[in-house]
Amino acid sequence: MGKIILVTGGQRSGKSTYAEKMALDLSGDNKCVYMATAKVWDDEFAKRVALHKQRRGEQWINIEEEKFLSKHNVAGKVVLVDCVTLWSTNFFFGISTSQENESSGEKGNVVKRSLEAVKDEFDKFTQQDATFVFVTNEIGLSGVSENKIQRQFTDLLGWLNQYIASKADEVYFMVCGIPIKIK
């Protein structure tokens, strides 16, 4: 039977570094799978991705997958998914863009459709017998945005984080580089 661990916190709270160390500790002498979900949007973000890659060594099997994690067989491995925020962004903007381009009536709420799609993919992926460490951002701690898209995405990620946390065996909240076990 697999195991699910969720590591959450704000930007630059130490989530990825902590999750990487945890995954390596859990894997023993075996290589871990680093499932990178980022879509590179611009040069500044490309530099962030490059820094993440530099930090990882030979003990990682790197897979770049923006959406369909379940198409990769990771049975028997420790898998780090970094990160849920970017992964759900790929679904959200994919559905949002396709919805805008459809001219035949209302095709459903973009948040609801995105949430259903990501939850479905999460369930398919975690059916494999593996240890999963998911990294996500906690973006709902601040005020309500004036931007409609940002409010919609905050709703999506908040509900998705709750869903993953409900399925997780362990949940950690990162504050200033310090992990706090909350489940």
pLDDT for res 100: 53
Q: Catalytic annotation on 72?
A: no
% of the chain beyond a pLDDT of 90: 66
Sequence spans of domains, the chain: 3-181
What is the C-alpha separation between 20 and 4, in angstroms, rounded?
Answer: 14
pLDDT for res 106: 45
Phi then psi for residue 165, to 5 deg, are -60, -35
Of 52, 56, 72, 167, which one is the catalytic site residue? 52
What is the C-alpha separation between 173 and 57, in angstroms, rounded?
Answer: 25
Mind listing the pLDDT tens digit for each residue in 93-124? 988 655 554 544 444 589 999 999 999 999 99
Asked if residues 174 and 9 have their Cβ atoms less than 8 Å apart, the reply is yes
Mean pLDDT, the chain, whole residue set:
89
Mind listing the pLDDT tens digit for each residue in 30-86? 899 999 998 887 888 788 778 877 777 788 999 999 999 999 999 999 999 999 999
pLDDT for res 147: 80
Query: Regarding predicted confidence, which is higher, 1 or 17?
Result: 17
Q: Is the pLDDT of residue 134 over 70?
A: yes
The DSSP output letter for 173 is: E
Instruction: Give the homologous superfamily in CATH for domain 3-181.
Output: P-loop containing nucleotide triphosphate hydrolases (3.40.50.300)
- Closest alpha carbon to 156 in 104, 105, 107, 94: 94
